[in-house]
Amino acid sequence: MSIQLTILGCHSATPRNNAHPTSQFLEINERHFLIDCGEGTQTLLRKNKIQFAKIRHIFISHLHGDHFYGLIGLIATFGLLNREHDLHIYGPKGIKEIITLQIKLCKSWTKFSLIFHELNGTESTVVFEDKKVIVRTIPLDHRIYTNGYLFQEKEGPRKLNMEKIQLNPEIQVCDYHNLKKGKNFIATNGAEIPNEKLTLPPKKPASYAFCSDTAFLPEIVSLLKEVDLLYHEATFLETEKSLAKKTKHSTAKEAATIAKEAQVGQLIIGHYSNRYKDLTPFQKEAEEIFSNTHLAQTGKMFSIG
């Protein structure tokens, strides 16, 4: 599985018994990320049987409470669980001060390193990169400084075309590594067989984009082009469009419009306002624009590849 996304919380504003604020757990190409961390996230991680130790990187979109009030508690719990691994936290400038002030006043310094990556840029930037995954910000338009995040697998090795390879007895298992890396094969007589005659293109890298919270912002479409999975907030329905505009949120229709324009694979919507008891109108409104739309729901999982 290239990507597995678990929705922990997907409602806006105040936590309620069955409406948890935003948080998501993402597995992508063997990396594990927590995205946003509303109050109660650590309890939802337990409910969904997600091992705390897997989380090495936490991405916070913005400093509204329903996206980060659970962070300090999660860090404290990591401490109580005797965590040793570094924890990287990506989020708006100010997040370091909030967390360290509380740690200082609680006299509960962690034994593991807390590494903050504070953001204040307004252009998309790479914030994480290793040999398997790259993560960039998606600058959004909300009441306070906010970023979405684009998670992309890196292109893997080329795949061996065994049918072709077996026709040439000179090619040994020890040559496979170079073939996967794209090198041509040199026969003992000096003849060069082009790599593309012996291999197939690598699997298309999977990608996931998280966009919350934001007003309708067509400028992000170019960043989201053909992502496999897009989460886009849909706090309101079109009937409350003026409220969406005033509070810098999106409607289901607007989220679907972004998905359609960016030609994404699937759309997930969430961050529903607590005013809506029935969520089916969200599905209906979005589907009219973009048919492959799914409603976020606590505990729901989405997989790619």
End-to-end, the C-alpha distance of the chain in Å comes to 5
Query: Amino acid identity, residue 277?
Result: K
Sorted by sequence, the CB contacts under 8 Å of residue 75 that are 6+ apart come out as 87, 99, 103, 110, 114
Residues 6+ apart with CB under 8 A from 14: 21, 66, 274
Q: Which residues bind a second copy (CB under 8 A)?
A: 13-17, 39-40, 42-43, 46-47, 63-65, 69-70, 72-73, 76-77, 80-81, 92, 94, 97-98, 101-102, 105-108, 143-144
Q: Which is nearer to a second copy, 46 or 159 (CB)?
A: 46
CA distances from 186 to 171, 175, 182, 193, 195 (A): 9, 10, 13, 6, 10
Instruction: Tell me which DSSP letter residue 157 carries.
Output: P
Shortest Cβ 73–a second copy spacing (Å): 5
Q: Which is nearer to a second copy, 115 or 144 (CB)?
A: 144
Question: Least Å distance between CB 251 and a second copy?
Answer: 20
Compute the radius of gyration of the chain from its Cα atoms: 22
* Summary count for the chain: helices (H), strands (E): 10, 18
Q: What's the maximum distance between 2 C-alpha atoms anywhere in the chain?
A: 75
Q: Considering beta carbons, is residue 177 or 246 the nearer one to a second copy?
A: 246
Q: Which is nearer to a second copy, 43 or 195 (CB)?
A: 43
DSSP H or E stretch at residue 268 = strand 266-270
Contacts of 223 (CB under 8 A, 6+ apart): 124, 136, 138, 150, 209
| Helices 252-262 and 280-287, axial angle in degrees (round to 10) | 40
How far apart CA 252 and CA 287 sit, in angstroms, is 9
Question: Which of 145, 148, 106 minimizes the C-alpha distance to 125?
Answer: 148
Q: 103 or 223: whose CB is closer to a second copy?
A: 103
The answer to whether residues 161 and 182 touch, using CB atoms and an 8 Å cutoff, is: no
**Is the bond leading into 213 cis (omega within 30 degrees of zero)?**
yes
Known active-site residue 86: no
Q: Collapse the DSSP code of 176 into the 3-class scheme (helix H, G, I; strand E, B; otherwise coil) and give the result.
A: helix
Q: Which of 66, 175, 213, 278 is catalytic?
A: 66
Of 94 and 218, which CB lies nearer to a second copy in the complex structure? 94
Q: Which residues are catalytic?
A: 66
